[in-house]
Chain A
Amino acid sequence: MSQDKSFTLDGKTVPYQEGQTIIQAAMAAGHYIPHLCFNPEFKPHGSCKLCTVKANGRQTASCTQQAQPGMVVESDINELNDERRVLLQMLFVEGNHFCPSCEKSGNCQLQATAYELDMMSPHFDQFFPDRPVDASHAEYLLDFNRCILCSLCVRASRDVDGKNVFALSGRGIKSHLIVNAKSGHLADTDFSGSDKAAHVCPVGVILKKRVGFSVPIGQRTFDAQPISATPHPKVKGA
């Protein structure tokens, strides 16, 4: 009596397991749907909206939408890619993303996703927000200019490390990342380089100090191949 546990993604059949969301099943099968706040190691969050697809004609975030039998999912279509590009442009103008000075350049998911979607300009007027850099910690640097509020570090610290080093504060366009210290400084938290939270930032906020240019620009992860052809290391397939 087994019901067919599969749906189609841009015409290709994708099998899924009960409880999987569209993107979870798609990634496991080696398909790429653009995403930033989603990480297969964590519970879906649904905030960046890059993974928006059309499921049976209705737009929805594919990271939180449960897969259903026979669902017709459209993802790699102009209409959605145009919207995703605008979402990326929003993230770029909201913060200060000066790629040439960022050690994450070439390994950055925001940048690589923007390459993938042919984002040629920020389009909107830059907000040029005044955001701090926290260099207090001996080993790690926090550059809040690049934060896209995906909350992966918040989730990793809370759910994996059991520490709550990071949290979001503020509201709306004033939302921002904070650390768990009265001083507001990372050095005064129990953060450690061995934390999961130290290694989940998709952009260049949480960076290890003194490792600049160990791999030259031009030879980094997403210089070698597009993000769509670079599966997450924890995901089989592709």
Chain B
Amino acid sequence: MNAPAKPKLKVATTSLAGCFGCHMSFLDIDERILELMKLVEFDRSPITDIKHCGPCDIGIIEGGLCNAENVHVLREFRANCKILIAMGACAVNGGLPAQRNHLSLPLILEEVYHAQHGLVDGFIPNDPELPLPLDKVHPIHEVVKVDYFIPGCPPSGDAIWKVLTDLLAGREPELGHGLIHYD
């Protein structure tokens, strides 16, 4: 690694239609987070609880797009981050949430809020506070340009560490056997 004389890079992270598993995996870099903190500072992230992303060097997105809010957050990241990284299966290819894509959205809403066994007087929530679901779940590269991808469900802490340290060192990220995983 370079000597930490340079100004710290700004990194933002978020989870869209994901399970936060990738963020948990991120924490699996364990004590290396101390080394990372010497090189970067976090903008919007579950670690900081900052609500909006400001100008950043690197944005890391977990999860795909299943509703309007996901799209707003993703666009905010794309507008503010020089480099955008899709982290994990859901961001890369839709992942688990996209397993609903072979069902029609009205059918799903009907089933969940009206037809399901045990529901009494069910109704589909219509509060303007709630983001509306998209008719299909999309991986993030279908909506904005994405610079790098870390596949995996979740990617290992080592894989995330490798991509970040490659980028911080100015190298093209490369995972190679053992780190590249789709499962």
Contact = CB atoms under 8 A, between A and B. Distances in A.
B149 A121 contact: yes
Interface string A79-108: 000000000000010001111111001100
Given A98-B95, A105-B182, A225 B101 contact: no
Interface in B105-153: 136, 138-139, 141-142, 146, 148-151, 153
A226 B181 CA distance: 12
B177 A115 contact: yes
Pick from A105, A118, A120 the residue with the most CB of B within 10 Å: A120
Given A100-B89, A121-B146, A128 B101 contact: yes
B142 A100 contact: no
Contacts, number: 76
Contacts of A18: none
Interface residues of B, number: 31
**Chain A contact residues, majority secondary structure:** loop
Contact of B94 (A114, A116, A126, A226): A126
B182 A114 contact: yes
A128 B102 contact: yes
B89 A99 contact: yes
A111 interface: yes
Contacts of A116: 177
Interface of A: 92, 96-102, 105-106, 111, 114-116, 118, 120-123, 125-126, 128-131, 217, 223, 225-226
